[in-house]
Amino acid sequence: MIRYLLCFLLSISLIHARSQFCQSDSSIRSRIYKDICVLASDSLQGRRSGTAGEKKAYEYIISSFREAGLQPLGTECGSYLQSLPFQSLDFRFNQTKLKIDDKIFGYFRDFSVTAFSGNGSINGEILDIGQGISLAFSSYDDYKNIQDCRGKIVLMNLDVPSGLFSVDSLKEKLTPVYRIKTALSKGAVAVIVWNFRSPFYQSMFDFIHTDTLNALVIYGRTEVVDYVSSHPGGKVILSVKLNRTNTTFHNVIGYIDNRAPYTIIIGAHYDHLGFSRKSEIRYGADDNASGTAAILELARHLRSSGDKSNNYLFIAFSGEEEGLIGSSYFCAHPTIDLDKVNFMFNFDMVGRLGCEGNRITAIATATSPDWRKVFSGTSKQSFRIKKMRGAPSFSDHYGFYSKGIPIAYLTTGLHYDYHTPRDVSGKINYDGMVSIIKYSEDFISKSEVAGKITFRKVRGWDQFTSFASFFFEELDYVFNVGLQGAE
Ligand SMILES: [Zn+2]
């Protein structure tokens, strides 16, 4: 009797181990349906990074990783989480103002707050200080004809004379931060910088790596600069209100260790945009609960797969919508040896098969010469595949590509609900997702036949043309539709 009972229990446990996740189309469909409905539900409030909605989302992903049998491979021992620090910004539109004489300038339209800026309100006369360069030992001194900077709001051109910039010993003195500090040390009370052609332009908005100078530092566009040059000595009233809050984002990382020499990273961002300005939830069902559900389902399949020629690392990234924060952080602080990564497989918006006809886009196909063979060997599905060679920087694959890792990246493309409260679970093509997941699983297994995937850097032109063609093709969506819903 005991023997029969043991046999019975053993057979039950074997059945359980093999068919814990039934792989029929209808079973896959019902699991991803549940995943997306949970992730894009009201209670997760749009899964904005660093919020309670993010926490609910990562708790759901952790329980799914655990259920699938993945090992935790976050930062702390025994944890699936990798915590990363982030400074979130809250621009107060109605409290940030610029007026010169009687002319009122529009925030964002005519000027922006730079990453160097503190908060406050200030009045004073405008003074053009050119490039604000003052080098004691050379003839370059923008201050030599300026009587007095004290109490002035100064206008500074970000550019520098190219001859000077090639002198290594001068580089630090030519940086905007040095020149802004010089102006403040001479008594200026606020700084308006300008010139988007300057190589320093981008750095003015690097909020992640820049500390405030505790002075008001704004960027003035053409309207402001033109007004100042035709109205020297104009009376400025400037107010800036920008709340910076230190917060923590969380990547979720699970591992299938097959004791293989290389690891395939399978990733998708799970964060979205939270509430709209009208306080509506932006659900992000396609962007990117769909990709998250796809990697959860692949985890369930690959855990029980007989193919052990690679290990698999699953990462649900946070902070993608804030600027690829989670994936960049992982690449800088990886929890496995990146030299042992075979390739990275990214899923971002795979829930709207049909929105661009019956096709999906495979991005970054030029990042390995091996992809041609893998794509042609992968079993065909009902959809067509459009290949885009380059690896443009609009999703989480980019940090891995920059580290010399081959990329495969699938998407069903942009649509009119992108970044709006209309990106809901009811509009997902679940049958389409089932075929994309099955295709991806077969793609992975064909890549295993190919062995270690070889990396190839995409030539600049290819990268540019892919990026440009993507945006020209999607121009309607990005500029006419997507941004209406975005903030
Ligand atoms: Zn996305």
Is the predicted pLDDT of residue 83 greater than 50, yes or no?
yes
**Residue 178 vs residue 210, higher pLDDT:** 178
What pLDDT does 76 receive? 81
For the stretch 223-278, pLDDT in tens is 999 999 999 999 999 999 988 888 899 999 999 999 999 999 999 999 999 998 88
What's the CA-to-centroid distance between 471 and ligand 1, angstroms? Answer: 15
Reduce the DSSP state of residue 284 to 3 states and report it.
Answer: coil
Residue found under tokens 């915590």 = 83
What pLDDT does 6 receive? 37
Is the predicted pLDDT of residue 87 greater than 90, yes or no?
no
For the stretch 131-157, pLDDT in tens is 999 887 667 899 988 889 999 999 999
Is the predicted pLDDT of residue 487 greater than 80, yes or no?
no
The answer to which of 2-6, 421-425, 456-460 has the lowest mean pLDDT is 2-6
CA distance 87 to 399: 20
What's the CA-to-centroid distance between 288 and ligand 1, angstroms? Answer: 5
Q: Write down the pTM of the prediction.
A: 0.74
Percent of the chain with pLDDT over 70: 90
What's the CA-to-centroid distance between 427 and ligand 1, angstroms? Answer: 16
What's the CA-to-centroid distance between 473 and ligand 1, angstroms? Answer: 18
For the stretch 426-466, pLDDT in tens is 999 999 999 999 999 999 999 988 789 999 998 765 555 55
What's the CA-to-centroid distance between 443 and ligand 1, angstroms? Answer: 22
Written as six digits, the tokens of 103 are: 């002319």
Can you list the domains of the chain with their CATH numbers? 23-87+246-485 (3.40.630.10), 93-240 (3.50.30.30)
The answer to which of 30-34, 320-324, 471-475 has the lowest mean pLDDT is 471-475
**Residue 468 vs residue 105, higher pLDDT:** 105
Is the predicted pLDDT of residue 286 greater than 60, yes or no?
yes
**Residue 267 vs residue 305, higher pLDDT:** 267
For the stretch 335-361, pLDDT in tens is 999 999 999 999 999 999 998 889 999
How many angstroms separate the Cα of 71 from the Cα of each of 37, 149, 307, 330, 333?
25, 62, 18, 17, 18
Please state, rounded to an integer, the average pLDDT across all residues of the chain: 88
DSSP 294-355: HHHHHHHHHHS-S--SSEEEEEEES-STTTSHHHHHHHHS-SS-GGGEEEEEEE---S-TBB
What pLDDT does 12 receive? 38
Instruction: Tell me whether the omega of the peptide bond preceding residue 288 falls within 30 degrees of 0, making it cis.
Output: yes
In which band, very low, low, confident or very high, does the pLDDT at 381 lie, cut at 50, 70 and 90? confident
Amino acid at 134: S
The answer to which of 157-161, 356-360, 478-482 has the lowest mean pLDDT is 478-482
What pLDDT does 214 receive? 86
What's the CA-to-centroid distance between 45 and ligand 1, angstroms? Answer: 16
DSSP-assigned beta bridge partners for residue 238:
98, 122
What's the CA-to-centroid distance between 119 and ligand 1, angstroms? Answer: 32
What's the CA-to-centroid distance between 267 and ligand 1, angstroms? Answer: 12
What's the CA-to-centroid distance between 273 and ligand 1, angstroms? Answer: 10
For the stretch 12-23, pLDDT in tens is 333 334 447 899
What pLDDT does 43 receive? 97
What's the CA-to-centroid distance between 283 and ligand 1, angstroms? Answer: 12
